[in-house]
Amino acid sequence: MAKTGTAQMKRPKHLPLRTCVACRETKTKRELLRVVRTPDGHVLIDATGKKSGRGAYLCARLSCWQKALKEKRLEHELEVEISAEDRAGLDAFVATLPEETPAPAPTKASRGQSRTQNTVQQ
Ligand SMILES: [Zn+2]
């Protein structure tokens, strides 16, 4: 039994990467939410990721959405004025995003009250 041929058939799955317009982090499309400017000039969240039109991507993070809306990143990215109606739709969506828990700080808890009384005694 001549066992030649190493398993070279499988190629790495290519995941398309997109950049969040707010934090500029690059993530796979699945991790980001797509906002689309429809051909008739509306701006809405494209939950399926399949709507046609110019798209912008954002993390599913409250801070990114707030930043994107506040700094008009979406408008800039999509080159469109977001109408009050569409803005209300986006705001309604943003309101569904969970409040962010601050990232666990890996830095040492430098609180004055910490009981680190480990005086080295031998
Ligand atoms: Zn982001």
CATH code for position 87: 3.30.1230.10
Domain count for the chain, please give it.
1
Geometric angle at alpha carbon 71, from 29 and 103, rounded to 5°:
60
- Of 103 and 4, more confident: 103
For residue 46, being part of any structural domain is answered with: yes
21 inside domain: yes
User: Quick one: pLDDT at residue 101?
Assistant: 77
Query: What domain range is 90 assigned to?
Result: 17-94
For residue 105, being part of any structural domain is answered with: no
**Does 74 map to a domain?**
yes
Q: What is the pTM of this model?
A: 0.70
Ligand 1 centroid vs 13 CA: distance in angstroms? 24
Percent of the chain topping pLDDT 70 = 79
19 CA from centroid of ligand 1 (Å): 8
Residue-wise pLDDT for 74-86, tens only, equals 999 999 999 999 9
Would residue 55 count as lying in a domain?
yes
Backbone angle region of 21, left / alpha / beta, with phi > 0 → left and psi within -120 to 50 → alpha:
alpha
| 112 CA to centre of ligand 1 in angstroms | 34
Strand order in the sheet with 43-46: 43-46, 32-37, 54-59
Residue 27 domain flag: yes
pLDDT of residue 102: 73
